[in-house]
Structure 1
């Protein structure tokens, strides 16, 4: 069984030829869209179950109950949309990536699923009782503008709830990165570090300030900690399937270097192996909520 405790409480930077922070954020958004293009099936087979873990707490924080008009932003394969629908909510879900939209329609058949890209949403002011986003904000360059837009479509008194990965990352989150470093993997020029402006969202104080600055009140940040139990094969399927930043980085290496990264991964993964053969990977996320 997955261990879970609840305590109160990877990207691109300035690309070549981009000299301003605004340019770096635009480059970040463009690269995120390229990285995730057509990756829904590979994501579903690897990291999706990990990312779905906070969904019940996310919906609780947003006050999602029967009859709630809820918007799931960046729905991905539809985990939060499906869970909200199971609670009897009236669900609308959006994502920027076509393969994710197709998966969300399959997994959350009762939801209205539409294409949309933050920081612009095709909805009227105050249209929703609750807005949720599960690991979405960390994929958005212009975070303040995105939060302002999420607040715009939320009715007065409605609740917003978002999750992001916590920083510093716990050991389970860094396993793949350690394997990449151990193999001496070079970073391709089109994958520079994340813009500094995005780093604050991974800390409780920074995330709370972002949400409060967007105009929400009663802002709370919880730290969610759990051990994700998986097989080494399923965990390696993420980068092998070109999923997320780590998969994009690995994709642009030589076959020999990819084999070296995998060998280091298999060695380092033994640190997390349980008697039943599964890996127990510690993870932590931040859950922020507030009321308009």
Structure 2
């Protein structure tokens, strides 16, 4: 086995991807109408779950490029495939020529972009005429009851700043806001729709440990004593979402933005 230092990206890949993100890859590819032979770009590819699914779908006659701004995420992704063209870069300044791709896709990254309209403008720029854009973001926190209960617990225990850090991935859960971002990017015919999804962890303890380790939300914000308190209180606050086998599951829908380049 290769010798590498474990990073938050490894935690993301081993725990978050199967619990939440893997289910969305075929949904986003369907939204972009990806077929064999297409050339695809995955923006904010993370550890590669969507790019890998795209490569499988387009087959040997197609091609996939993938880009992320976090080197640790790309390091994990590169261990998975040498056929995908991995790039370190920002969504707001894509290193590709105009009209390069049949489809541009992205899942659960746009919430963290510095300039979302600029990123969407860039994604549209690199699409070929007739190409499709498909972007998935988390729906509002109120539509994910388990995570809403967890956020309320964080606020009760540790205050607004900790709770708001956890709420960050849900900030684009508003169709009107997404349409405004598209309009600012010059994308006139965009559509936004909700798609059902489920979060599933093997236990409450697994959920809490994973969230604590997430570098994009709670990572580094809780000390050992706070983590112990959160773990204990979560057993009570989240018990209503636990199945008889001890697994925890609840709804977490996404909003999917689609558009076609004229």
TM-score range, shorter chain: 0.7 to 0.9
1:115 aligns with 88
Correspondence for 1:243 among 195, 215, 219: 215
The equivalent of 1:182 in structure 2 is 156
- Separation (CA, whole Å) in 2 of partners of 1:43 and 1:183: 25
Counterpart residue number, 2:125: 152
Match of 1:268 in 2: 237
Q: How does 1:210-289 map to 2 (within 5 A)?
A: 210-232=181-203, 233-245=205-217, 247-248=218-219, 251-289=220-258
Q: Aligned equivalents of 2:22 and 2:257: distance in 1?
A: 16
Query: SS at 1:40's partner residue?
Result: helix
Structure 1: distance between partners of 2:257 and 2:193: 6
- The reply to whether residue 140 of structure 1 matches residue 113 of structure 2 is yes
Query: 1:217 Cα shift?
Result: 4.6
Q: Is the 8 A contact 1:165 1:286 kept in 2?
A: yes
1:67 alignment counterpart: 37
* Deviation of 1:262 (Å): 1.5
After TM superposition, give the deviation of residue 164 of structure 1 in Å: 0.6
Q: Distance in 1 between matches of 2:81 and 2:156?
A: 40
Question: In structure 2, what is the Cα distance between the partners aligned to 1:126 and 1:117?
Answer: 18
Give the unaligned 5+ runs of structure 2.
1-6
What count of residue pairs does the alignment treat as equivalent? 248
What is the alpha-carbon distance in structure 2 between the residues aligned to residue 193 and residue 182 of structure 1?
A: 14
Taking only aligned residues, the RMSD between alpha carbons, in angstroms, comes to: 2.4
Contact 2:200 2:247 in 1 (8 A): yes
User: CA 1:185/1:263 → structure 2, altered by over 3 Å: closer, same or farther?
Assistant: farther
User: What is the rounded CA distance, in whole Å, between the counterparts of 2:81 and 2:193 in structure 1?
Assistant: 27
Scaled by the length of structure 1, what TM-score is found? 0.77
Task: Note the C-alpha offset of 1:152.
Answer: 1.0
Q: Give the C-alpha shift of residue 192 in structure 1.
A: 11
Is the CA contact 2:151–2:166 (under 8 Å) kept in the aligned structure 1?
A: no
Q: CA contact under 8 A between 1:92 and 1:112: conserved in structure 2?
A: yes
Per the alignment, residue 45 of structure 1 pairs with: 14
Q: Does the aligned pair in 2 maintain the 1:159–1:290 contact within 8 Å?
A: yes
Partner Cα separation in structure 1 for residue 31 and residue 167 of structure 2: 32
What are the superposed Cα offsets for residues 126-163 of structure 1, whole Å, 9 maximum, x if unpaired?
11111001111101121111111111111111111001
Evaluate the alpha carbon distance shift between residue 180 and residue 220 of structure 1 in structure 2; reply closer, same or farther with a 3 A threshold.
same
TM-aligned CA distance change 1:187 to 1:179, over 3 Å: same
CA separation of 1:175 and 1:192: change in aligned 2, threshold 3 A = closer
Alpha-carbon distance in structure 2 between the residues aligned to 1:221 and 1:193: 21
Range moving further from structure 2, 68-77 or 98-107 = 98-107
